[in-house]
A and B are shown apart, each in its own frame.
Chain A
Amino acid sequence: MLDLYPPARLLSGLLLVTAAFLAKSRFAIELVYIGVLLAVWATNVGMAHLRFVTFISTPLLVALLFIWGVIAAANHVPPPHHSGVDYAVFSWLRIVVCAGALQCLLVPLIEQPSHLKLFLEKSGLAGSLGTLIVASIIFLPEVRRRLRQIIDARRAQGYSLSGLRGIRDLPTLLMPLVSSLLDSATKRAEFWSHRGVLERTQFKGSPYSYSTQPSALALVLTIATCALGYFG
């Protein structure tokens, strides 16, 4: 994976999300998506993006096509574009672009909280404030990590969690998840207060190294993609 500087990563991600909303035509959003696909390839999250497109966004596309291509047409509701199908694809591409940008540029930043904390501290933010921001963000990967372990434990008991069975079993999985998250939050709050984590504002030395050229290149390419999307 590319070791992009956290500011470059953050800025590129935010620019691509902005470009998705600035793009005026379907051709423009397609150009932006090509830029996102390049970023997905460069940051090695191709499989995760493919899974998102296949299992999450495709049902959404079907729903959008049904709403704008069938229901809206039958009720003579004029779509914002020249055809309902065109508008459904346009809306879907916006969502996929945002998800792709998050997956390749922002999620790695969230999953490396110490990088984010160091970046916030170097940006002049008070250490305790940086720690609190990071603490609220690390909630997401923690939920994912715990859920994965709970799913493994459930599967090890012989329960299949695929298809409708998996949906039916969801409340069963939520109980240990919520309980362990509450327990962990209590223990972590105690640890922070006991060991003075909030007062630990400075890292003694950065163990991280970032690549300057790929970071600059990522920013230039993102800006170019945004311009193409906006003017294209």
Chain B
Amino acid sequence: MRTGVLRVNLHVLAGPNFSGRTHRLRVSVGLPSNPGAGPVYSEGAYIGPDAASAFSGIASTVAAELDLMAADRVSAKRAMRALEDLGFGYCLGLNPFTLSGGEQVVAAVVVATASGPKRLAIDCALEQLSADARTRLLAYLTTLDGHLTIADNRLDEWFHGREGVEELQAQPDSPMIHPDSSVTSESRPSRVEVIDLSHSYVKGRSVLTGLNLIFSAGELCRLRGPNGSGKSTLSKIMCGLIKPSSGEIRVDGRVVKPWLSPGKYVSYHFQNPDYQLFTNSVRLQLSQSKDPTALARSFGLESHLDDHPLDLPFVLKKRVAIASALARSTGYLILDEPTLGQDRISVINQNRIIAYGLSGLVISHSEMFSGLREITLPGPPRG
């Protein structure tokens, strides 16, 4: 099926964090190295890890975004058909900013291709997609014309060729994660049970239906499911941010109502680190830990202890947010896409830290969590 206006000339940037991938990608589509560095205009499109930044912000639905951004009416219709073929047709009627991370990536990429760019750069955005969605999206992209440049931390999971690959090296003093067994969760792990849980945001459109799950104390599990299957909704219910339509939550055998005191029984680390950094320095952000310096050192943040967390690059902000979640003392921790933007070595080391005595749930599409017990939610119930 030929759904777009381009036929792709693929260029892959392989390299760790701090190897200048983002700079290369931005420059390849005519953007300056850093956002806000100057006015630009080109026929390229850039989609970064925060795919929401690739929407105009003036369209109330994905269909309206396509209508605004597509090169012509035919391209808009082709892109709508492509979204449906990719299994994300239901997103057309939804607000781009209310979609899940993976849905935003697919919608942003399809909208970008509809605008007829000569160059398209995708910077670590595909990590938010399930393996199936990523395969389908890549198949769609390879049918297009033009230049496609991709940087991804999970290249080994989907790219096996050598042609068109450029290896980049990290800067010599780039901050590395050092797993340290003295940095462990300081709380007593809890056993959490989800009993007959159902939830719907809109009447008649269930996100979760009759869900029964048991998370043992001291066990790290992985929550999987296609994009839009309700993983974040389940996490928010367990944390107490949402009151479910029906069902109950038990912590250590006791029925609790987490929505009456959110964050008391279960902590939740959000996908976007920008919204969870509330202090003026990294040191203060980690102050709930018994040894903030050791925790910072293990996450490669020792030289940033007095920096403002919001001034750090995305990768380091993500590390600060995860470290501060570990510093909190609740019996159960949910980590939503903890590997986003982190290179392979960082993820391996970070996973070692997370695994030290933690009772928790990891939401991730990365195959690097394949050793954990898996809980899979069914596909998006859009009925």
Binding site for B on A (CB under 8 A): 111-115, 117, 131, 134-135, 138, 142, 145-146, 149-150, 152-160, 172-173, 175-176, 179-180, 183-184, 186-197, 200, 203-205, 207
CA gap between A12 and B36 in the complex, in Å: 41
Q: Does B22 contact A (CB under 8 A)?
A: no
B contact residues around A117 at 8 Å (CB)? 58, 68
Q: List 26 A-B contacts (CB under 8 A).
A: A114-B68, A117-B68, A142-B57, A150-B275, A153-B275, A153-B276, A155-B240, A158-B267, A158-B330, A172-B278, A175-B278, A175-B310, A183-B274, A188-B56, A190-B31, A191-B53, A191-B54, A193-B39, A193-B40, A194-B29, A195-B69, A197-B58, A197-B69, A200-B68, A205-B73, A207-B63
Residues in A with CB closer than 8 Å to B57 are 113, 135, 138, 142, 188
Q: B60 touching A115 by the CB < 8 A rule?
A: yes
- B41 interface hit (Cβ, 8 Å): yes
B9 at the interface (CB under 8 A from A): no
Q: How far is the CA of A192 from the CA of B137 in the complex (A)?
A: 25
Q: How far is the CA of A172 from the CA of B41 in the complex (A)?
A: 37
CA distance in complex: A142, B58 (Å) = 11
If A117-B58, A194-B30 are given as contacts, then 19 extra A-B residue pairs at C-beta distance below 8 Å, sorted by A number, are A114-B67, A135-B57, A158-B267, A175-B278, A180-B275, A183-B274, A186-B36, A187-B35, A187-B53, A190-B31, A191-B53, A192-B56, A194-B41, A194-B44, A195-B115, A197-B69, A204-B76, A205-B76, A207-B67
CA–CA, A149 to B236, complex, Å?
A: 12
A114 touches B60 (CB 8 A): yes
- The yes or no answer to B11 lying at the interface (CB within 8 A) is no
A156 touches B262 (CB 8 A): yes
**Chain B residues, Cβ within 8 Å of A138:** 57-58
Dominant secondary structure at the B interface: loop
Q: Which residue of A146, A157, A180, A187 contacts B263 across the interface (Cβ within 8 Å)?
A: A157
**Distance (Å) between the CB of B113 and the closest chain A CB?**
13
- Nearest chain A CB to B191 CB, angstrom units: 20
In the complex, how many residue pairs between chain A and chain B have their CB atoms under 8 Å apart? 136
Bound CA span A186–B262, Å: 33
Chain B interface (Cβ < 8 Å from any Cβ of A): 29-31, 35-36, 39-42, 44-46, 50, 53-54, 56-61, 63-65, 67-70, 72-73, 76, 97, 115, 236, 239-241, 261-264, 267-268, 270, 272, 274-278, 310, 328, 330
A112 vs B65: C-alpha distance in the bound complex, in angstroms?
12
**Nearest neighbor of B64 in chain A, beta-carbon distance:** A114
Contacts of B240 in A (CB 8 A): 155
Q: Which residues of A contact B72 (CB under 8 A)?
A: 204
Whether A157 pairs with B58 at a CB distance below 8 angstroms is no
Find the A residue at minimum CB distance from B269.
Answer: A156
A156 and B267 in contact (CB under 8 A), knowing A176-B275, A192-B56, A196-B41? yes
Q: Does the CB pair A188–B53 fall under 8 Å?
A: yes
A73 → B minimal CB distance (Å): 44
**A-B interface, 6 closest residue pairs, ranked by CB to CB distance from nearest:** A158-B263, A114-B64, A204-B73, A153-B276, A186-B36, A156-B268
Asked if B60 and A113 make an inter-chain contact with CB atoms under 8 angstroms apart, the answer reads yes
